[in-house]
Chains A and B, each alone.
Chain A
Amino acid sequence: MTTRPILRVEHLSKTFGGVRVLTDVSFEIGAGEIVGLVGQNGSGKSTVIKCLSGYHSPDPGWQLQIDGSTLTRGLHPGESAQLGISFVHQDLGVIGDLTVLENLLFNRFASEHSPYINWADERRRARDLLRSYDLDLDPRASLGSLRPVEQAQVAIIRALMQLRDRGTGDNARSGVLVLDEATTFLDRTGRESLHVLLRAIAASGAGVLFVSHDVQEVLALANRVVVLRDGRVVDDADAATLSPEDVVGLIVGGDRAVRLDQLADDVEAEKLANAADGAGSVAADVHVAEVAAPIGRLAVQSLDGPQVRGIELDAVGGEIVGITGIVGSGWESVLEHLYGARSADRGWLEVDGRRVDLTSMTPRRAIDNGMVLVPSERLTQGIIGTLPIEQNVMLPVLRRHFSGGFLRHRELIRRCERLLHDHAVQPPDARRPIGTLSGGNQQKAVLGKWLQLAPRIVLLSEPTQGVDVGARQLIFRIIRDAARRGAVVLYASGDWEEIARLAHRVVVIADGTVAATLAGDDVDVNRIASAAYRGTRRSADLAAASTAWSGPDTSEGREL
């Protein structure tokens, strides 16, 4: 199948501040070939992509061959398109308010300075191009009116046009198209129609690099699969020779001893970090969460939303339940539906026998039901960086400090500073703009904002994102403390190590439905991974299948 390599990467390494994230990565893509690139979060996939796009400069010693040119330096931003690498990213980079034609042409508008556009001519060319790939799209339609899969098709065709437009117009049908998680938010049929398009593009002579979390999808589409783990290529094999289990095994890594070592290092690092900023003593007596009335039982029933269907889960007071899956599988939206931050199509929440309809849930109602949410996008949803910490943190309790017709400013500041102290926020200065704190301290303040309400149900969406290791330790402590006092904690995260360390039970979501619920000794990274990657099989088979690469249980890990 491989005729000649279009793209060849050799000895690609990348170091960030002394930490090596890519080590001697080499691979090639032949003309007409679709290569899948897979790996866990943090395995180095996105660093590879960013080196190819010119966003990062690789360490010296690498070599890139692309369509006949050879480079040993880093690429300039924008240079990749000239050389023959074109990207379609997860967010597609299309503009809904413009027409299909305008979207297809805007790269050209950006690079050319022709004073005149022949719209009729361009429209005809676009229609011909779309037709040649069996796409029945009207160039004049507004992009926002198209289905998501059609928008993705437009993005792919645009990337293809970018490849063809370069150079002297010799219509060379080569170059490499890179799809960076571009199918993540599509449903199954949508993905399949994109596969048809990608195969047609490959058949016309281009190479395709397909980056995805979805192992099954990669195996269905790609001719060859490159697996990255911890910044190294651990396998590069013909897709036909691999089973999904093989690939998951390669992605997660078979060596448990190594992983436990890493975990121990991590704990050591956390201790050191605590000692270093003098927060160690404060951390020891973090006493924060009050729980109004310990919860008996919580259940979510038949939750449907744009990305999930038929989600059922339950929890009891004192329990930390992890919710996870691969990127785009729907786990990200579960908490938002429960809190009413995003409307659900169907579903109920039952708390101690009281049933609440989730289709009419709002954040206000959720808070009134004893729920709080620490949202995943801290900078846009969690804090207002320019306002003082006090105005951010005390927002939910303003009425408590309003008496005799006046907000008691001094009291607010005092209460807030005590809260900051209890949560080991550095510096505990309530008048400071919250944006001037480090990410970890911002997040501790956000936790304080919500836990002061003595919630019975604590929803946490990736609370350790952008948080340093020391703060992470404190955040874990605060979360455990809330659970110990009888709250239900639902913890949604894509970081499986973290989930495995913290959660008593884990609900794994694949393809929008609950793929497995793991409890007790089953809560470990390998079992989470196999459930997440392999989709909808029952957890019993998973446990059996996963023993192949799983070692002793990790319950000691959770005690850390």
Chain B
Amino acid sequence: MTTTRRFGSVGSLVGRFGVVFVWAIVVVVFSVAKPDTFPTTGNFSTLFASQAPLGVLALALIVPLTAGDYDLSAASVLNFSSMLVAVLNVQHHMPVALACLLGVVFGLVVGLFNGLVTVLFDIDPFIITLGVGTFLDGLTLWISKSAPVSGVSQNLVNLVVVDRFLGLSLEFWFLIIVAIVLFYVFTFTPPGRRLLIVGRGREVARLSGLGVNRIRILSFVASGGLSGLAGVVYIGSSGSADPSAGTSLLLPAFAAAFLGATVLVPGRFNPWGTLVAVYFLTTGINGLSQLGVSTFVQQLFYGGALVIAVLLSSLAGRPSRRKAKAAAGPLPADGAPPTTAPSQPAQTTA
């Protein structure tokens, strides 16, 4: 039994690297179909760099997701932060570095608000962050007067897209740095471990003496700050801010986070899996649009991927869950209806 697990069965290998294999197949297929435009360094370097804001946003999401919470305001924070940088820098002539700093700080503040309200009032973060996100969208339209703002300092644009390292824009390397930091925190530090415990068993965490509330609040702060950073990368990569463009990244980011949870470390939100998922999705869309498929394919692709990803991770999690139940002995047999709120700790009935 141990041997199978240690050396990995074919099944688990497919599970861990399934999306990577499919990604490779997609690359081969498009390379054959479009040998002149698809498999070129130019295409790939654009592909890798241009998706950095989406990547950072998806990484922002996996922090609260690991702690068991949703942050639906992330894309709106990105959107607002990029507009804030543009407005402050272009219209108020604020130094771009300071504007960028304010963009990130703004994200941290929104995250703190999300976390405090969710935890202190014990409200479903799904609703709170949805409301906060919509509110931010309104703010973005307000400060921009509903019009795109362009002409952001060339220094920022240079730093994000023009300057290159190993042939790739720096924004790609920013993304990699964020992924490394998250990977380090998730894997090699006690807070990362505690975050996972809080997400999987809040009651276990509480009884183990963890500051569950503090950890949840901080996870929202992290996701807010990273979303603000994603906004900075976003404005840097295009040089102008559009008051509604950023919000469309929410669904792709969730699709990448959930699809990423089926890769490399199946069953867990993990930074490298998330990046694989981001690039798998964007490669597919890039190839299909080169084949001349209309833009609606984006929605088909992202939406379909989200549904399939959630299905896959549910299937991947199933056998172990069943074993856990079997090991726990027969279920209580009251014939009583199940409780409606699974997040509530079960009442102690002896």
Contact = CB atoms under 8 A, between A and B. Distances in A.
Decide whether A and B are members of one complex.
yes
A546 interface: no
A367 interface: yes
Given A55-B333, A398-B193, A429-B2, A91 B324 contact: no
A385 B324 contact: yes
Contact-size category for B: 35 or more
A427 B207 CA distance: 26
Nearest to A327: B350
A332 B324 CA distance: 26
Which has the most chain A C-beta neighbours within 10 Å: B189, B193, B335, B336?
Answer: B335
Contacts of B321: 385-386, 435
Contact of B345 (A381, A406, A466): A381
Contacts of B177: none
A386 B208 contact: no
Nearest to B340: A95
What 6 A-B pairs have minimum CB-CB distances, sorted nearest first? Answer: A435-B324, A385-B324, A398-B190, A384-B201, A364-B209, A367-B209
Contact of B207 (A341, A379, A438, A494): A341
A97 B190 contact: no
A427 B327 CA distance: 13
Given A387-B196, A437-B327, A382 B204 contact: yes
B267 A384 contact: no
B320 A55 contact: no
Contacts of B346: 377, 380
A402 interface: yes
Interface in B182-214: 187-190, 193-194, 196-197, 200-201, 203-204, 206-211
Nearest to A431: B5
Contact of A402 (B189, B207, B317, B329): B189
B207 A77 contact: no
Contacts of B349: 90-91
A506 interface: no
Interface in A373-409: 373, 375-387, 391-392, 395-396, 398-399, 402, 405-407
B300 interface: no
Interface string B327-350: 111000111110010000111111
A167 interface: no
A396 B200 CA distance: 16
B125 to A, nearest CB: 19
A53 interface: yes
Given A405-B188, A429-B2, A436-B320, A381 B350 contact: no
Contacts of A89: 334-336
Given A341-B206, A381-B203, A436-B324, A91 B190 contact: no
A556 to B, nearest CB: 29
A466 B328 contact: yes
Interface string B25-43: 0000000000000000000
Given A380-B203, A381-B204, A429-B2, A395 B320 contact: no
Interface string B266-291: 01000000000000000000000000
A442 interface: yes
Given A87-B335, A385-B324, A438-B327, A396 B348 contact: no
A386 B320 contact: yes
A93 interface: yes
A396 B201 contact: no
A462 interface: yes
Interface of B: 2, 5, 187-190, 193-194, 196-197, 200-201, 203-204, 206-211, 267, 317, 320-321, 323-325, 327-329, 333-337, 340, 345-350
Interface of A: 50, 53, 55, 77, 87, 89-91, 93, 95, 97, 327, 332, 339, 341, 362-364, 366-367, 373, 375-387, 391-392, 395-396, 398-399, 402, 405-407, 427, 429, 431-433, 435-439, 442, 462, 466, 494
Contacts of A429: 2
Contacts of A383: 201, 204
A407 B335 contact: no
B209 A396 contact: yes
Given A87-B335, A380-B346, 4 more contacts: A332-B350, A386-B324, A395-B197, A406-B189
A380 B334 contact: no
A198 B258 CA distance: 53
A342 B112 CA distance: 27
Nearest to B329: A466
A362 B348 CA distance: 19
Given A380-B346, A407-B189, A363 B206 contact: yes
B193 A395 contact: yes
B200 A387 contact: yes
A462 B349 CA distance: 12
A407 B334 contact: no
A372 to B, nearest CB: 9
Nearest to B203: A381
Contacts of A439: 327-329
Contacts of A380: 201, 203-204, 345-346
B323 to A, nearest CB: 5
Given A90-B349, A398-B193, A384 B188 contact: no
A37 B74 CA distance: 58
A429 to B, nearest CB: 6
Contacts of A392: 204
Contacts of B317: 386
B196 A391 contact: yes
B186 to A, nearest CB: 10
Given A384-B201, A429-B2, A439-B327, A396 B196 contact: no
Contacts of A407: 187-190, 193
B197 A391 contact: yes
Contacts of B204: 380-384, 392
Contact of A91 (B187, B189, B197, B334): B334
Nearest to A396: B208
A436 B193 contact: no
Given A384-B197, A391-B193, A402-B189, A435 B327 contact: yes
